[in-house]
Amino acid sequence: MLTYVLRTLLRMAITLFVIVTLVFFATRLSGNPVDFVLGDGITQEDRQLLIAYYGLDSSIGTQYWRYLVSVFSGEFGLSFLERRPVADIVMERAWPSLKLLLSAVSFTLLVSVPLGILAAIYRTSVIGSVVMVIAFLGYAVPAFIIGILLVLIFAYTLNWLPVVGDGSALHFIMPTLAISGTLVAAITRFTRNAMLDVLSQDYMRTARAKGLPEWLVILKHGLRNASITLLSVIGLQIAGLAAAGSVVVESIFAWPGIGDLLVRSAILRDYPVLQFGVLSVAVAVIVINAVIDISYAYADPRIRLAKG
């Protein structure tokens, strides 16, 4: 087990290094941020001084080396726009993103797991078919389309829900639904498949033969044995949500989280904020994946042996 954990940690380090490298060079493709931030109302001499101040006058190789040194030393620099440490800026946005993530995950679990169980129990009936059609539709429609439709219907047409910010519980409804659309669809399908695998097992027939109520057989013996697979899938879906879904949805609803900050920093070419924000999200995703991987392997040694 120790060898497996060490290999997982090594994969984490390699993945993180690749992400750090890709983010650095991708941000440099958009040009010099000084020209974008300051515009035309600056002398050439002041422009050169500012470029030198931010270290942008060095070669790309030198900038990359300085960036690696700063990352591994915990010094992430100042925002080009706000002139504040980028760690402070990103951390200020972390809590709103976390609240939205918890809201979306809670709603997803409350809806998708029961739907998946129903789809497995009534797989040959109309109920199972309707649930799976809804799941496929949710999986096919991107989060930003769901978000835009929600805004058009519930904000502009019906004027029921607020669009911008996170000031009240009502502000959570549309972003939560937008993020949860794909998640509900995916976890419903995985729950159905996992339950179908266990419903035909001998221990399920034995539990029914003992005279236990059907709901108890399903929840205690069925869902519990399917939970190992479900937990791994749920964890991976949460990781994907942190990496992509929330970025788009936060931008649509002007949610004051990391996703909205990343989009704004990319548009305004605020390299330090963008680099640290992407790095923070990447670390969260990598850690979640590693924890799930190790936990799954610990629970099922066959996974550990298969992955070497």
DSSP string, 86-111: HHHHHHHHHHHHHHHHHHHHHHHHHH
29-33, 157-161, 216-220, range with greatest mean pLDDT:
157-161
pLDDT band per the 50, 70, 90 thresholds, residue 37 = low
pLDDT band per the 50, 70, 90 thresholds, residue 35 = low
> How many angstroms separate the CA atoms of 7 and 306, rounded?
13
Handedness of CA 254, 258, 262, 264 (dihedral sign): positive
Give the chain's mean pLDDT.
82
pLDDT at 150: 92
- Name which of 177-181, 250-254, 294-298 the model is least confident about: 294-298
Domains, the chain, with CATH or none:
2-72 (no CATH), 87-307 (1.10.3720.10)
pLDDT at 30: 67
pLDDT at 301: 52
Q: 219 and 146 in contact (C-beta within 8 Å)?
A: no
Q: How far apart are the first and last CA of the chain?
A: 10
pTM: 0.79
Greater model confidence, 214 or 1: 214
Q: Is the pLDDT of residue 25 over 80?
A: yes
Residues 217-237 have pLDDT tens digits of 887 778 877 777 777 777 777
> How many angstroms separate the CA atoms of 160 and 96, rounded?
22
- Name which of 12-16, 266-270, 301-305 the model is least confident about: 301-305
Q: Is the pLDDT of residue 273 over 70?
A: yes
CB under 8 A, 24+ apart: contacts of 196-199? 196/120, 196/123, 197/226, 197/229, 198/222, 198/225, 198/226, 199/120, 199/121
Residues 187-211 have pLDDT tens digits of 888 888 888 888 877 777 787 788 7
300, two tokens: 């099922």
210, two tokens: 């003992």
